[in-house]
Amino acid sequence: MVGIWLFLLISLQGYKASVTHNVTCMVINLDYVNCSWSEQGSPDMNSTFFHNKFNTQINHMEECSAYQFESDYVVGCRLDYEKADRFRTLITKLVFQNKTYEQKHDLKDRVKLYPPANLSLEMIKNTQLNLYWNNSKNTHCIESEVRFRINTNDWKSLRPRQEQMYSVPFPSNSNTYEFHVRARTNTDCGQSKFWSEWSQIILWDSIKGNNNTVVSGSSMPLWKPMLSIVGFLILLMLACMLVYGERERLRFILLPIVPNPGKNLKDLLDCENHMGFPYISKHICFQPNFTERACSVSEYKLVPQAGSISGSESNLSNPTDQSDCLSTSFSSASTLPATSEN
């Protein structure tokens, strides 16, 4: 069992090494050659790259003079290119951990152009809608493919053409047209396997006027999301103004004010003070409508008819003053005859 796992591990390591150090070269826009060995992932160690400068007659290899880096590791090399080099064989040699990986590259059909640019639309007397564009290389070796759709329907592709123009006959004023274009080298100069990336989308909407075009990276015009954002902001401002104007009424309805327990009854009875009870109308107050009158009250004392007053009885003769009388009547001290006891 251990032997099987060891064999699988060695096999996978050998497969990873062969894939990781595979060099891929491509002619970019007929301007230069880009060779890369990081398509299966970034390497964890640096390598040294050599090439023969498209000259198979000289058995000489020179090191790359323009390395490309990714995360501080060498992942590619950029080579100078001439028009005739495309039909010659490029020999590369990659040295990694004292191991050499040599390859031959035929670049005739490995050309990738830049996307077409400067797309424009022109309406001619409401009978023809013309699309124009510019390819990165203005040569007879380039063909273009146009793709369009109407009213966000499915895209339709047209046959490749060398002309840098396409016409839509009798376009409808109620439809919206979208176009984009890509390019590659044609069969006259060695057809490439690779198309360029699609250009930016250009939009024609008759509602905006015959000369109005919008270049966008997506099918949705830019003004639609902007209009939605502006509308939302306006609604939000109106809602804030409404809440600000009705904040007091809204506060009493949703969150009634609880009376302050720190206020005493005197504040409630005071007609001039409504700070502690804001939910009571200022026209309502509690004012007493009665008057108080102070009166003096004295104790009754016993006066005997004859004889002397005893000491105990004399103690009753001292009147006791009473204050804060709440009665409205007035009482005075009186003298009552004492009854004799048989």
Burial class (CB in 10 A: 0-12, 13-18, 19+), 149: middle
Domain range enclosing 148: 112-216
**CATH number of the domain to which 53 belongs:** 2.60.40.10
Both tokens of 325, joined, read 């009388």
Residues 238 and 168 both lie in one domain: no
* Four-CA torsion 33, 21, 190, 80, nearest 10 degrees: 10
The amino acid present at 10, given as its one-letter code, is I
Distance CA 326, CA 329 (A): 9
Residues 235 and 207 both lie in one domain: no
**Would residue 259 count as lying in a domain?**
no
Rg (CA), the chain: 53
**Would residue 62 count as lying in a domain?**
yes
Residues 91 and 181 both lie in one domain: no
Report the DSSP pairing between strands 111-112 and 24-28.
parallel
Residues 128 and 159 both lie in one domain: yes
Helices (H) and strands (E) in the chain, counts: 5, 19
Residues 147 and 103 both lie in one domain: no
**Would residue 174 count as lying in a domain?**
yes
Which pLDDT tens digits describe the chain residue by residue (342 residues)?
Answer: 545 444 545 454 544 444 457 899 999 999 999 999 876 666 677 889 999 988 877 778 899 999 998 888 888 999 998 888 888 899 999 998 888 889 999 999 999 999 999 999 998 888 899 999 999 887 788 999 999 999 989 999 999 988 999 999 999 888 999 999 999 999 888 899 999 999 999 998 865 554 444 444 444 455 667 788 888 899 888 888 777 766 656 555 555 556 555 555 555 555 555 554 555 555 555 555 556 666 666 666 666 655 544 444 444 444 444 444 544 444 444 444 444 444
Residues 31 and 77 both lie in one domain: yes
**Would residue 86 count as lying in a domain?**
yes
Total tally of structural domains belonging to the chain: 3
DSSP collapsed to 3 states, 47-83: CEEEECCCCCCCCCCEECCCEEEECCEEEEEEEECCH
Helix residue spans in 42-191 (DSSP H):
none
Domain boundary among 108, 141, 171: 108
Both tokens of 164, joined, read 């840098």
Question: Is the separation of the CB atoms in 69 and 37 below 8 Å?
Answer: no
DSSP state, residue 223: H
Distance CA 266, CA 276 (A): 11
Res 291: pLDDT: 60
**Would residue 283 count as lying in a domain?**
no
Question: Is the separation of the CB atoms in 123 and 171 below 8 Å?
Answer: yes
Residues 185 and 229 both lie in one domain: no
Res 290: pLDDT: 55
Res 113: pLDDT: 95
Residues 79 and 130 both lie in one domain: no
Residues 130 and 64 both lie in one domain: no
Residues 183 and 247 both lie in one domain: no
Distance CA 133, CA 162 (A): 12
Residues 94 and 40 both lie in one domain: yes
**Would residue 271 count as lying in a domain?**
no
**Would residue 277 count as lying in a domain?**
no
**Would residue 183 count as lying in a domain?**
yes
The number of residues in the chain equals 342
Both tokens of 317, joined, read 């003769």
Res 59: pLDDT: 78
Residue 274 phi, psi (nearest 5): -130, 20
Residues 76 and 121 both lie in one domain: no
